[in-house]
């Protein structure tokens, strides 16, 4: 069984569905409201566990009404939460999500306890690295924590993946691309981090080259419906996506990253891992909510059989 360590965020998602998001100063009526477990770290931990990995999470929640529910959700999906701290000094992270018809979204994140990861979390992550086959990071937690645990993974020979969202130039200034084995932004995140607008495969190649110049070994650019582009020591390739009618694109990138990580941890080559990750990302777009939409291994297998060339 592949072993996945996730160091990242946990949020409670507050989701309002509406025909369209409001313009400045405008009020629109919503169609429905729901809450669901979220946060890029927790999403990826749930996805990795559902995809068949033994998964541990290093994170923080607040000692508030959301904290126990968020932990319960994770534990029900088999995620090891022994390294998740309940922090009395900050509320649990919250994401306010406006979901338009057609699946497009606008998200505002309040980091809360996620912003308080520090030395105890670094020690927990470093202790778990040696018992892991891959480590997943995102940018919803303090960058020094990512850097220190990534350095421990590098020293232990454990591959690491950075889902580069939400993108911030501070990640580049801190030298994260050189500490991480695989960096995986979407088009918007790639532009923020490299200054190159990614509109086609040529742009993707140029952005990947910029990441390589920053020290990144492998670059996996998520291209939405167009699939993904990989550039690394083993070559480069565009892996096509799957045609779907999206219901909610929230956390599709998290499903992709988790599946990519499970593939790498299982010994799959990069094109095969990306192909399967594209399927996981597509499946996540077919259900409402972040963690509720994370697919199982069986669902990915069935989807790939249904979409075989």
Domains defined for the chain, CATH in brackets: 3-10+38-92+113-306 (3.40.1190.20)
Q: Give yes or no for residue 69 having a pLDDT over 70.
A: yes
pLDDT band for position 102 (50/70/90)? confident
Question: Residue 32 and residue 21: Cα distance in Å, rounded?
Answer: 14
What pLDDT, in 10s, does the model give residues 218-266? 999 999 999 999 999 989 999 999 999 988 888 899 999 999 999 999 9
For residue 309, the model assigns a pLDDT of 66
For residue 249, the model assigns a pLDDT of 85
* pTM attached to this predicted model: 0.93
* Residues with a known catalytic role: 254
For residue 97, the model assigns a pLDDT of 87
Percent of the chain surpassing pLDDT 90 = 87
Question: Residue 80 and residue 84: Cα distance in Å, rounded?
Answer: 9
């Amino acid at each position: 069984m592949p072993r996945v360590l996730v160091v990242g965020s946990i949020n409670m998602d507050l989701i309002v569905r509406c025909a369209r998001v409001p313009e400045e100063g405008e009020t629109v009526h919503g169609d429905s409201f729901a809450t669901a477990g979220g946060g890029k770290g927790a999403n990826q931990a749930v996805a990795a566990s559902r995809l068949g990995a033994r998964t541990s999470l290093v994170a923080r929640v607040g000692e508030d009404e959301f904290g126990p529910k968020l932990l319960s959700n994770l534990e029900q999906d088999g995620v090891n939460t022994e390294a998740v701290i309940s922090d009395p000094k900050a509320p649990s992270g919250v994401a306010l999500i406006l979901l338009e018809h057609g699946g497009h979204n606008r998200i505002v994140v309040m980091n809360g306890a996620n912003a308080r990861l520090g030395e105890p979390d670094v020690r927990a992550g470093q202790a778990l690295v040696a018992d892991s086959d891959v480590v997943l990071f995102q940018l919803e937690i303090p960058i020094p924590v990512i850097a220190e645990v990534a350095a421990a993974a590098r020293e232990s020979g454990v591959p690491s993946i950075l889902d580069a969202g939400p993108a911030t130039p501070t990640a580049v200034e801190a030298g994260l691309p050189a500490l991480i084995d695989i960096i995986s932004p979407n088009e918007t995140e790639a532009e923020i981090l490299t200054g190159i607008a990614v509109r086609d495969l040529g742009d993707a190649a140029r952005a990947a080259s910029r990441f390589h110049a920053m020290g990144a070994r492998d670059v996996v650019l998520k291209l939405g419906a167009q699939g993904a582009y990989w550039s690394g020591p083993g070559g480069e390739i565009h892996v096509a996506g799957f045609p779907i009618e999206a219901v909610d694109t929230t956390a599709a990138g998290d499903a992709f990253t988790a599946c990519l990580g499970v593939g790498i941890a299982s010994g799959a080559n990069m094109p095969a891992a990306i192909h399967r990750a594209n399927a996981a990302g597509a499946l996540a777009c077919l259900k409402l909510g972040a963690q509720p939409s994370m697919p199982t291994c069986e669902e990915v297998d069935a989807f790939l059989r249904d979409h075989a060339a």
